[in-house]
Amino acid sequence: MSRAEPYHRPVLADEAVGFLVTCQDGIFIDATAGGGSHTILIVSKLDSSGTVLAIDRDDDAVARTSRRVEDFSSQVRIVRGDFALLRELALEAGIAAVNGILFDLGVSSHQLDSAGRGFSYREEGPLDFRMDRRGELTADEVINGFSAEELARIFFELGDEKNSRKIAAAILAARRKARLTTTTELAAVISTVTNPRWINKTLSRVFQAIRLVVNDEMNQLRRGLEAAVELLAPQGRLVVISYHSIEDRIVKNIIRELAVSRKSAPGEQTEEREAVLRRITKKPVVPSREEIKQNPRARSAKLRVAEKI
């Protein structure tokens, strides 16, 4: 892949980096480096003393970012790892506190468009879905190993799929005949119990739910946000771009909880705590119509920002 070839088209890039970079000589973390677009935009806003730690758990993303930031090699350090281990990764890099941390959640354009990764129902690929190919759990094991009850719960809770039980039953019936091994086989099974009018939305929801389970994304997100708050220096910014309601709800709730003081009432055993964050965006920032027109994958994006007190 050459430098000119696109890897991932970032969403709300100018808005995100505009909120993030409040000082030109600071230390910043791009917790989801992807193809390096955000990393490059961040470092371009800094002076020669500012630095960026770029993190991603996908080896393709790490390799791509490494090539793209060659001109900024003295200011950018790239690490392969899960952002749930953000604090540990930062400490290993000699960083105890930072001025801003950016999370661009979800799957990248490159991952979606790479059939061999199996993220998309539009291309035939293996039932993989791993962002980090060192991970043990794959979509194959979920689809062919989980019970009907487990599958239905996953599709309903993580995909908001109302037809979850019928889809789970269809998968079990199909795998009794032969193990499902490809994305197109799975999509074909789902289509047998789905109204053709809603098939694309249903496939998107089911594939999303499987991906979230395989990559343990909700737990990773909670741990990553908690670590980010600890790492931020006073007045440091937390910037998060999410793409579906479950992610956004977690981000919103964590920011809201940490943005208020908690006092114990007489006789209560609850721990008292001063607010540690200040909300910068009361409502999420969303893409413009023009951005959505140019990049339809941006349509569900929401950006939230908080600042360490």
pLDDT class for 2, splitting at 50, 70, 90? very low
pLDDT tens sequence across 211-257: 999 999 999 999 999 999 999 999 999 999 999 899 999 999 999 99
3-state SS record for the chain:
CCCCCCCCCCCCHHHHHHHHCCCCCCEEEECCCCCCHHHHHHHHCCCCCCEEEEEECCHHHHHHHHHHCHHHCCCEEEEECCHHHHHHHHHHCCCCCEEEEEEECCCCHHHHHCHHHCCCCCCCCECCCCCCCCCCCCHHHHHHHCCHHHHHHHHHHHHCCCCHHHHHHHHHHHHHHCCCCEHHHHHHHHHCCCCHHHHHHHHHHHHHHHHHHHCCHHHHHHHHHHHHHHHEEEEEEEEEEECCHHHHHHHHHHHHHHCCCECCCCCCCCCCECCCEEECCCCCECCCHHHHHHCHHHCCCEEEEEEEC
CA distance 125 to 140: 11
- Confirm if 60 and 80 have CB atoms less than 8 A apart: no
Q: What percent of the chain has pLDDT over 70?
A: 92
Fold of 13-110+217-308: Rossmann fold (3.40.50)
**Domain segments of the chain as ranges:** 13-110+217-308, 138-214
pLDDT tens sequence across 251-306: 999 999 999 987 766 666 667 889 999 999 999 999 999 999 999 989 999 999 99
Domain over 138-214 is classified CATH 3.40.50.1370: no
